[in-house]
Each structure stands twice: as structure tokens, then as C-alpha cells.
Amino acid sequence: MDEDEDDADWDTSSGSSAPASTGGGCSDGSRRVVLHFDLDCFYAQVEMVRNPALRDVPLGVQQKYIVVTCNYVAREYGVTKLMSVTAAKEKCPQLVLVKGEDLTHYRETSYKVTELLMSYCPLVERLGFDENFMDITEIVNGKIREAPVTDYCFSGHVYNCQAAGVRASEYPRLAVGSQIAAELRGALHSRLGLTSCAGIASSKLLAKLVSGAHKPNQQTTLLPKYTGDIIGSLTGLRQIPGIGYRTGEKLKALGLLAVRDLQVFHLAALAKEFGEANAQRIQNLAHGIDESPVTPSGPPQSLSDEDSFKEISTVTETVKKLEDLLTSLLERMHKDGRQPSTFRLTIRRFSSTDRWFSRESRQCPIPIHIGQKVISGSSEALPQLVSIGIKLFHKLIDTSAPFHLTLMNVCFSNLLSRRDTKGSIKSFFTAKSPSRQDKKESLSLRASEPCVTLPEEHMNCRTERTTDNRDFESTASTSLMQLKPTTFHKGRGKNWILRLPADVDPDVFSLLPEHIQKEIIPTFHTAVFQHIPPVESRPGAMCSLHDHPLSTRDTEGLNVPRPSSLGVNAACPPNVDPRVFSELPPDLQQELLSEWKQQKPVLKIPSKKVVKGGSTKEKKTTGQPSQANNLLKYFKPN
């Protein structure tokens, strides 16, 4: 046990923080400050916020015949997560159950949480619907540099310590981190009505491990000198985040059960099972070492809908299920505003002998003309995608023999933002020579002003109320006024851009390999994802302002500035964010405007791919004169 002078919590060293050498001499003071937030029994909380009368009763959220989560009242009776409904009712006959198969409200609240956190600091990484990591290293360093305090103190618990007895001034950065965590939890509560736990530590691993030390609705800070203690408190390898069932079984086969076993196991032997890199990674985890960065999630990479059931065994039922799933998925996709370019169908087959739970999938590109219909909300999108879905289905299932499905999932991925579909960003990233159009767009982004989104603007530039993606944008930028104006960079190929700090050349940044980009993004504490709202096709309709009761409650009490009013250029091309547009130099505005008026063709056809080398075994169901509402309609040639 070496005490490595770990209390040197301070320093922050060279004030200017040129991130030049990322892996530089990492003295203890350059440790990160990472937060982990975990909403208390999330689905149940969402239901209680929606219906406060449920607060005081034992409440469970039911999906099919499972209670997926429950409130703390129900836990008093012994109800637990993932308990069967019958078992839960035995434990607690008065248990109130609400159906939770439809994730809409959970998903929406989940993104509101992430947005609220992002409004304080953009480096937020989602983990599932109810957890978020945040890297606040630079904010903490900045605060201490600008306003040093003599008597620091912790908010909440300190792991293994009597709260009052800690000499917080020896850990100023973690102490400030705990204050920020408390402030953010307070904001989550006052703005969204949600309670949460938080962990404050020097890595994602430790922050996550420590966040659960005091539950519910409490927070805990881990001092570096107690890293060994918290790791030692784990009673099995499976409790280490990153070691799942499979890895756990493999480790068991190697004779490793306790965390200590993994710590001392010969690395070379571990590498035989898991490969060099993975072996090192999991052994590091066992030592409480985790250098993985907090990687901003941005908007989702895929949208999917699924349903499980006892049995589907006919094509007719299959088509119906496909239609149902696709209908809701299309609605979500339309609101998102991005254009899906690949479609995946996955199934689970019933198997009595081998009750192995495995899924099989087939996927294919979505023709651009169909993708566009998804965006525009055309009613033609549904039948055309059902048709594609059935073809994928037939690649999975031989319908001339009996079949028995127990689950179906439809997924849209490879989501293209408006900018992508206009052919600007793709080449920016992948191509060697960015087109003129690309240059101009990057220029225009660079010229734009900082991220204060104005609700009033939405009235001017949007025609329909939306959720998901756009909510993300609108709330995410409400309190970022302290951030310096920056340049933009495309974020993860979607309807989003990543604003880079002013001193980072986006052209240079874009040329870096992706893993390098990911590594250095956490050093940009002024970076932020921002959504470019897609433009609705139907002009005229107005959106309402008050459709999100959660976010409009309790506007006081949190230092989120009331956005001021800003004029929006009346003549703004529909394919450009008016806020961005209004900041452009007049000549660029002119050019964009005239381009738009000329309806300049902007779509680029991805590749001349020979569609499916002759469609392997696919019966081109010949085009029969089709009846509406007939199954056959889906078998027309596309």
C-alpha cells in the first residue's frame, strides 16, 4: 500500500491548458473530475411525476408480465426490479401497476435530463435512459483558478468518511465537483421533478461505482485514497462495470471469482482469452483504473421499436405486426427529422429444445426516395417500408415450413441530418477534397453566433411541434451563455453539429482519425452538440409553446437565463437555421438565398452499387394488379 501523495488534488498546473500532448505528464492534480448521475427508479418516477397521486402508493411499472421497476414504497414490501407480476403481487397485494411498454414518456424525460445536464456542461455521455456521465474537469479548474476559496467543503457524502471530518481543502477539485453535482441534482429536481443519485470521482468507473453508495436521492464523493476500498467492497467480478455475463463466465473458467483474483492474474494468460487490449482493460478495471473518456452522446444513432409476444406463426400476423411497429417508428423518425438510410428487421424464434435467447436480423439500405418520404411524413412511406420489411422477413424465415416468432424489432439507423442529405458533410469527413459547397457551409457555421436558442424563434421557423431531437437542441442551449463563441464541426453524422473551441481548426480536427477526435473532445469544455432543426415541408402550421409541462414548471430557482428576443431574418432559406443565417455576412446570405430559390439540386446519390448481385434467391413477386388492403399490395415491384 503506497500512499502516492494522492491528496494532491489541486494544481490544475499550467493555467493555459494547451491540450497539445494529450497523454502528457499526468500529475495527480490533472486527474479528471467526473460525475455520474443515476435517476432513482426512473420509470416509476416518470409515472409519479405524471400522476402525483401515485407518489404514496406502492407502484410498479409493468412490461408484459414483468415489473421492470418500482418505487421505494413498493420496495418496502419486497418488490424488486424484474420481478414477475405474480411474485410482486404476492409480496404486495395492493401494488399499483402501470403499463410501461410504451417508452415514449421515459425516452422524452430521459433526453430532458441529458439536455439539462448539457446546458451546464456539454460533455455528457448517456448510459441507458437513466444514467449520465459528465466530465467537469475544465469547469472545476476554471472555477478554482478564477475564484479560489479558502474553506472548501463537500456537499453530500464522502465515501468511507464522516462527512464533517473531511479536510475538504485538501481536495478542492472534488469538493467543487460535489457542489456542482448537488446544484445539478437540485436543478433536475426543481425543473423536472426528478430525484437522483450522483457519484463524484476521477473516472467514469469510480464515479459510477460510488454513485450508488447512498440511495436514493443522495450523492457520494470518492477520495482517491479510498479507491482500493470501494474496489475491495465489490463481492464479485460481475459488479465491475464492463464485465458482463460472458466475460464473467470466461473469468470463472480461469478460476477467477473475486476482484483480487483478477488483479493479480498473469496478464499474458488473460490476454490468451481476451486479447492483449481487452485483457489490459479488464485488469485495469479490477484495479479501479479507467482512462476511458466521457464521450458526448449527442442524439441517438438509431431508433427502433419492438414487441415481444407469445406467438406469431402466419404471414398475415407478421405483416400486421410489421405495420404496427413501423407506424410508430415512422412517427418517431418523422419527429426526429433525420433521414434513415438503413432498415433492419430482427426476430426471435421460439425454440423449445434450445431455449437459447438469440436474435437474428437482416438489414438493407433504404432507397433515398423512401427515406425522404419518411422525413416529409408522406403516407407512402409506410407501405413501402412494410414491403421492404417483408422481403427481409423472407430472408430470415422460410414460410413454406411452420415458424414461430416471439419477438419482432424494426430499426432505423445510419441517420442522415439535413446537412448530410444535402451532401455537405459526408465529403467533409471522408473525402480528400471538400467541395466548394462544403467549404461554404463550414464557413457559414464558423460565422454564426453563440448558442442561445430562442423559443420565439421556433414559432417563426417551425411548422409543427416536435419532440426528441429538437427538444434536445432547444433546451440544451438555454444556459450556455458562458461558453465562448466557437467554430462548428459536424457531430456524428447527424442533424447535429459539434461546436469546437475557437482555437481549434475544424478542418484540422476533421482530418484526425475518429479515435483521436474522441480522445481530445473531452479537452474541449467549450464544445457543444447542437441540433440544426430540420425544416418542415408544410408551411403554415404553428407550434404551441406549452406542450412540455415538465420543462415549464418552476422556471425560477435555477440560473437559467431567460433568453432575450432576437430578430429573425424574414427571408431565410428553409434549409438553413435562421439563427445561423441571420449571423452570416450579407453576401453569403445572398448566395444561399439565391441557391435556394434556384432549387439547386443538392442530393447526391451515394454509390452506383449494383443492387444485390441479382437478388440472390429472391422471388420477384411479379406485379399483379393490386387491391388496396390486400396483402399482395406489399409484393408489388418497387
Partner DNA sequence: AAGCAATAG
Partner DNA sequence: GGTTCTATTGCTT
Catalytic residue IDs: 131
* Residue choice 131, 290, 420, 438 for contact with DNA (CB under 7 A): 131
Complex with DNA: residue 4 or 360, whichever CB lies closer: 360
Residue type at position 586? P
Residue 414 engages DNA in binding (rule: CB under 7 A): yes
- Minimum CB–partner distance for residue 625 and DNA (Å): 31
Strands (E), 437-486: none
For residues 58 and 199, which CB has a smaller minimum distance to DNA in the complex? 199
Does 618 bind DNA (CB under 7 A)? Our answer is: no
Q: Using the CB atoms, write b or e for 444-476: b if 16+ within 10 Å.
A: bbbebebbbbbeebbeebbbebbbbbbbbbbbb
**Is 334 exposed, middle or buried, given 0-12, 13-18 or 19+ CB atoms closer than 10 A?**
buried
User: Contacts with DNA in 346-375 (CB under 7 A)?
Assistant: 346, 355-365
Kindly state whether residue 238 participates in binding DNA, applying the rule CB under 7 A. yes
Q: Is 409 in the site for DNA (CB under 7 A)?
A: yes
119 is written with which cell numbers?
446546458
- Under 8 Å CB-to-CB from 360, ≥6 apart: which residues? 346, 347, 348, 349, 396
Question: Residue 83 pairs with which residues in a beta bridge?
Answer: 67
Residue indicated by cell numbers 456539454: 122
Q: Does 420 bind DNA (CB under 7 A)?
A: no
Q: In this complex, which beta carbon is closest to DNA, that of residue 336 or of residue 583? A: 336
Q: Which is nearer to DNA, 557 or 606 (CB)?
A: 606
Query: Per CB under 7 A, does 394 bind DNA?
Result: no
Q: Name residue 244's amino acid.
A: G
Window 254-283: residues binding DNA (CB under 7 A) = 275, 277-278
Those residues with Cβ within 8 angstroms of residue 248's Cβ, 6 or more apart along the chain or in another chain: 236, 237, 238
Q: Which is nearer to DNA, 293 or 578 (CB)?
A: 293
If one asks whether residue 64 binds DNA (CB under 7 A), the answer comes out as yes
> Which three three-digit cell numbers place residue 378?
408522406
Interface pick for DNA out of 13, 17, 30, 63 (rule CB under 7 A): 63
Q: Which of 611, 619, 613, 612 is closest to 390 using CA atoms?
A: 619
List the strands of the sheet with 59-63, edge to edge: 83-84, 66-70, 59-63, 96-99
Among 129, 159, 393, 529, binds DNA (CB under 7 A): 129
Q: Please say which residue, 378 or 467, places its beta carbon nearer to DNA.
A: 467
Select from 243-251, 422-430, 540-548, 583-591 the region that touches DNA (CB under 7 A).
243-251
Instruction: Give the Å distances, CA to CA, from 625 to 10, 213, 333, 621, 635.
Output: 77, 66, 31, 12, 11
Site for DNA in 74-93 (CB under 7 A): 82, 84
Q: At its nearest, how many Å lie between DNA and the CB of residue 274?
A: 9
Beta bridge partners of 410: 305, 345
Q: How far is the CB of 415 from DNA (least distance, A)?
A: 9
Specify the stretch interacting with DNA by CB under 7 A; choose among 161-169, 172-180, 300-308, 567-575: 300-308
* Segment lying near DNA (by CB under 7 A), choices 126-134, 221-229, 429-437, 620-628: 126-134
Which member of 107, 287, 404, 633 binds DNA (CB under 7 A)?
107
- Helix (H) / strand (E) containing 333: helix 315-336
Which residue's entry shows cell 432505423?
412
Closer residue to DNA in complex, CB, 344/499: 344
CA dist 169 to 162, 164, 261, 376, Å? 15, 12, 36, 57
**Residue 236 binds to DNA (criterion: CB under 7 A):** no
- Assess 337 for contact with DNA (CB under 7 A): no
| Burial class of 211 by CB neighbour count within 10 A (0 to 12, 13 to 18, 19+) | buried
Note whether 342 binds DNA by CB under 7 A. Answer: yes
Contact 112, 476 (CB under 8 A): no
Total chain residues near DNA (CB under 7 A): 61
In the 8-state DSSP scheme, what is residue 533? P
For residues 91 and 173, which CB has a smaller minimum distance to DNA in the complex? 91
Q: Is 242 in the site for DNA (CB under 7 A)?
A: yes
The minimum distance between CB 577 and DNA, in angstroms, equals 23
Our finding on whether 459 is near DNA (CB under 7 A) is no
Cβ-count burial 577-606 (b if 16+ within 10 Å, e if not): bbbbbbbbeeeebeebbebbeeeeeeeeee
Check binding of 308 to DNA (CB under 7 A).
yes
Would you state the cell numbers that stand for residue 472, as one nine-digit string? 434536445
Biggest alpha carbon distance in the chain?
Answer: 83
Contact flag: residue 127 with DNA (CB under 7 A): yes
Selected range binding DNA among 214-222, 299-307, 536-544, 574-582, rule: CB under 7 A: 299-307
Applying CB under 7 A, which part among 18-26, 112-120, 235-243, 446-454 lies near DNA? 235-243
Bridge-partner residues for 580, per DSSP?
Answer: none
Q: Which amino acid is at 430?
A: T
9-48 residues near DNA, rule: CB under 7 A: 42
Q: Work out which of 244, 549, 557, 623 binds DNA, going by CB under 7 A.
A: 244
Q: Is 287 in the site for DNA (CB under 7 A)?
A: no
Q: Is-contact 568 578, C-beta < 8 A?
A: yes
- Which is closer to DNA, CB of 300 or CB of 534? 300
Closest CA to 28 of 16, 11, 14: 11
- The answer to the question of residue 606 lying near DNA (CB under 7 A) is yes
Residues 179, 219, 221, 295: which binds DNA (CB under 7 A)? 295
Q: Does 530 bind DNA (CB under 7 A)?
A: no
Per CB under 7 A, 395 contacts DNA: yes
Describe the strand order of the beta sheet including 405-416 as a list of residue ranges. Answer: 302-312, 405-416, 339-349, 359-365
* The only residue of 109, 297, 421, 589 in contact with DNA, by rule CB under 7 A: 297
Interface residues with DNA (CB under 7 A)? Answer: 42, 63-66, 68, 82, 84, 101, 103, 107, 127-131, 238, 240-248, 275, 277-278, 295, 297, 300-308, 342, 344, 346, 355-365, 395, 407, 409, 411, 414, 606-607
